[in-house]
Chain A
Amino acid sequence: GQQVMQIPQYQHVQEGEDFTTYCNSSTTLSNIQWYKQRPGGHPVFLIQLVKSGEVKKQKRLTFQFGEAKKNSSLHITATQTTDVGTYFCAGPSNGGYQKVTFGIGTKLQVIP
């Protein structure tokens, strides 16, 4: 079945350093979403990418969708303590209308 792999699983950075998480799918995706889950909270939708090679920015966050639409990345510039949490990518599942498959997530710790 379809797999969505995400690396790294954990990342510790000093405040002010950059951070990147990568997402790879075993199949071509029509779109990819990114979510953030703060400690003790629920996942919150951040963004959806649809086009091959698409790049979108939200303040210090940059999201990219690969040319082959099988991989994606989230880059945070100059991390802050408010960036702490787990970042998930997700893509449409095979054979399921409106189903998505989530990556395992990357847990980010920011050391002040």
Chain B
Amino acid sequence: AQSVTQLDSQVPVFEEAPVELRCNYSSSVSVYLFWYVQYPNQGLQLLLKYLSGSTLVKSINGFEAEFNKSQTSFHLRKPSVHISDTAEYFCAVSESEGNKLVFGAGTILRVKS
């Protein structure tokens, strides 16, 4: 069975500092990986996804994530965060032949001024 581990429940960081949110997964088959973001009192929105090809994927608002198959990781990074990035971030995995997502427990990113 698939599982997703987000290693940090909360990450506090100052504005304009870099940040990394860690995600590790376990699966015995090929997977597809996703990062979702949830702003306060809202539903989840897809931030970025890895399906195949280049292991580095990027979002339109400056986040990027790298798929590392040997380390079964899909860490999310941003070189300079903004106050508006404050949100909860969820890593999710789907098996290549599946139609369901398995989510991690989430990481709350708190950006301080």
The reply to whether chain A is a binding partner of chain B is: no
* A interface list, Cβ under 8 A from B: none
* B interface list, Cβ under 8 A from A: none
